[in-house]
Every structure is written in structure tokens, then in C-alpha cells.
Amino acid sequence: MSTDASFFLRRGNFLIPLIAALILQLSHGTAFSKDSSSDQAGKKCLYVSSFHETDNWSSAIENSIRARLHGHCQLHRMYMDTKRNVSPDAIFEITNQIIAKIEQWSPDVVITSDDSAAKHLIAQHYRNDKTPFVFSGVNWSVEEYGFPYENVTGIVEVAPIKTLLKEATTISGNGRRAVFLGADTTTEKRNFKRLQLMAETYNIQLEPLYFASFSQWKKALQKANDYDFAVLGINAAIKDWNSAEARKEALAVSRKPTFTTEISMMPYSTFGFTKLPSEQGEWAATVAIKILNGTSPQEIPIASNKKWEFWVNEEILDRLPAQPARNLLRKAKRFQPDNT
């Protein structure tokens, strides 16, 4: 073999892998752009919901997470279902299943929604761990869990209760006696305490009525007519809930204005000052992408939601003796059953 031929063979052995690498790079986009979603095609994201797949609030958070993460990572989802399966044994079992998935699959980031995942998964098992976590939907405060950790950041869920109470007082004719209707759960009792503290600043006497069944909810709704106004908590823990019957009941018995911060309760409430679950999901997914790009959770401060919407259910409002000012109604979105 000639010297010249030997030279070109050696050069060919060097150039072939270089050309192949350049072709691969061009087919997948530039390797130097931190914002390129294709760079992250091999990344893995795990989403853990505290509730079940068909829960309206969790579904809305999940939908916004999935849309935002599209093209950035492979997304796997798991559901703790702790609204319906509340026993310690059930929670222990599903938590262990999720831990096993994390250890086996090694996700690059884990996103969680609501308090059960924060409490039973992150706080108990992944404090300052190597796995990055982004929480969402944690109610009011993270003090109970000691967040942030080195590997944990997230967004706190705060209801617009100050605005709700101010408007409720006005709409009810300067009403100062109110009642909170909530499911007999730890979360709803926590929500009541927050609401009660804010009510005290407006000289409103707020009492709780807790329910554990659909029949108890109907009785509580009728009892609410003894007050100036009522605040409706969530119904998700009530296994025998009947949406169609609940709507008929609200139309039949409501004689005082009712208010809620949950869009899922608008079929049964007169007014709503509701949070946007999409805000939680979009924020969490955006932060997850930053972590996939190399940002440490420690560098991302914990946030809280900023957006809310004002709703009116005219079907119920038309049956009440008192009517709010027209300028207030002009600001409201009209509720229809398909809004939920």
C-alpha cells in the first residue's frame, strides 16, 4: 500500500465517526442550546398526584403539566388516591409503590400535586435526597413539611379568601354570621382554620359544619339558611356524592348566598372566587424544565399562586331574595355546568 493511500485511510478512520456525530447532532438540533427540548428527549419526569385520575382539580393540574412538558421528557404518572383511600395502610402501600418506581426508574425530576404527596412521600422519604422534587397544590403553607429542602421547591396554593369574605359581607347586606360547610377531613379542617382567622379580621363570626356523607351535606346546606351567608368547601371525600341531586338540592333550599373557592363546587354555589389549577401545573412544569437544564431546586424560590376568577351561578342567584349590585355582576363569569 502506498504512503498516500495509507494517509487517506487513517484520515478516513478519523473523519467517519466525526461526520456521523455531526449528522446525529443536526438531526436532533443543536447540542449547545439549553432551551432545546430535543436535548432532553432522553430525560424522565414522574408526576405523582395525591388524588385519583378523574379528580377535577388534579386532572386540570396534570393536563397543564403534560402540555408544558411535551417534548422535554418522558412523563410517567402515578396516583395516590388519598381522598378515597384514607386508611394509613392504604397510604403506606401506595407510597411504597411510588418509592419503588423512583428507585427503579430514576426520574430526573418528580412533580407532585397536593398535600398527601408532600407529606407522605417527600417529607418522610426524600428530604435532601439526590432526586429533585417540585411540589404544587400544597395548601396555605409549607411550614408543616419544613420545605424547602436542598432538592425541593414548589408552588403553594392560596385561596382568595380575603376577597371572598369582603364581597360576601357586602352581598349579604353587611352579614356577620357565617357558616363553613366542609367534608370531615384534615384538609378541610385546616382550610376552615385559615378562613376563620381571616373572618375574625372582618368581625365575622364563622362556624363549621362538617359532613361525612351526602345526606349530611344536604342537611348542612339547609342549615346554612340560618346564617347570613355560607362558604362551601370541597366534596371530594364523599363517596356517595350525587352531583345531579346536589344541584337540585341547592336550587330547592338555598335562600342565602353561598360562596366557594373551588370551581368543582360552583354547580351548588351562588358565587365563586376560584383558583386556577392550570397556574399550579404550568409553574411546576416550567420549573421542572429548568431543573432538567441543570438548575438546582435550591436556586428556585418557593412561589404562591397569583390568579383567580370570579363566577356567578345565575340559576341559584335568581332564587335568592337579595341581589348584588349590577356593577359587581358585570365583573363575573357566568357559570354553566360544563365549566367544571
Write the CATH number for 112: 3.40.50.2300
* Range from 13-17, 52-56, 192-196, 302-306 carrying the lowest mean pLDDT: 13-17
Q: Which pLDDT score is estimated for 38?
A: 45
Claim to verify: residue 146 and residue 205 sit in the same structural domain: no
How far does CA 142 lie from the centroid of its chain? 14
Compute how many other C-beta atoms are within 10 angstroms of the C-beta atom of residue 318.
Answer: 10
Q: What is the pLDDT of residue 29?
A: 33
Please check whether residue 225 is in contact with residue 256, taking contact to mean a CB–CB distance below 8 angstroms: yes
- Per-position b or e across 23-51, b if 16+ CB within 10 A of its CB: eeeeeeeeeeeeebbebbeebbbbbbbbb
* Residue 122 domain-assigned (yes or no): yes
Stretch 67-91: mean pLDDT: 94
pLDDT of residue 247 exceeding 70, the answer is yes
Mean pLDDT estimate for the chain: 87
User: How far is Cα 274 from Cα 263, in angstroms, rounded to an integer?
Assistant: 6
3 within some domain: no
Structure confidence at residue 179 as a pLDDT band (50, 70, 90)? very high
Same structural domain, 197 and 212: yes
Q: Is 139 found in the same domain as 217? A: no
Same domain, 148 and 285: yes
Give pLDDT, residue 327.
80
Residue 130 resides in a domain:
yes
- Whether 240 is covered by a domain: the verdict is yes
pLDDT higher than 70, residue 248 = yes
Looking at the fold, whether 192 and 332 belong to one and the same domain comes out as yes
Q: Cα-atom radius of gyration of the chain, to the nearest Å? A: 26
Query: How many structural domains comprise the chain?
Result: 2
Name the more confident of 138 and 237: 138
How far is Cα 162 from Cα 96, in angstroms, rounded to an integer? 39
The mean per-residue pLDDT over the stretch 147-176 comes to: 94
157 confidence band (pLDDT: 50, 70, 90): very high
Q: Do 292 and 335 share a domain, yes or no?
A: no
Please check whether residue 222 lies inside any domain of the structure: yes
Hey, what's the cell of 62? 396534570
Q: How confident is the model at residue 326 (pLDDT cuts 50, 70, 90)?
A: confident
Average of pLDDT values for 219-245? 94
Residue corresponding to grid cell 388534579 = 58
**What pTM did the predictor assign?**
0.76
pLDDT in tens, 5-53: 433 333 344 343 333 333 333 333 322 223 334 445 689 999 999 999 8
SS3 271: strand
Do 332 and 283 fall into the same domain? Answer: no
**In the chain, how long is the greatest CA-to-CA distance?**
105
Q: Are residues 149 and 205 located together in one domain of the fold?
A: no
Band of the pLDDT at 340, cuts 50, 70, 90?
A: low
pLDDT at 45: 98
What pLDDT does residue 316 have?
A: 96
Residues 327, 296: one domain? no
Domain contains 236: yes
Give residue 323's pLDDT band: very low, low, confident or very high (50, 70, 90). Answer: confident
- What pLDDT score was predicted for residue 199? 97
Residue-range definition of the domain harbouring residue 84 = 37-158+277-304
The predicted structure's pLDDT at residue 25: 36
80 and 116 in a common domain: yes
pLDDT at 202 over 50: yes
Note whether 293 and 251 are same-domain residues. Answer: no
pLDDT of amino acid 21: 37
Stretch 172-181: mean pLDDT: 96
The share of the chain scoring above pLDDT 90, in percent, equals 73
Looking at the fold, whether 152 and 102 belong to one and the same domain comes out as yes
Task: Judge whether 6 lies within some domain.
Answer: no
Query: For residue 13, is it within any domain?
Result: no
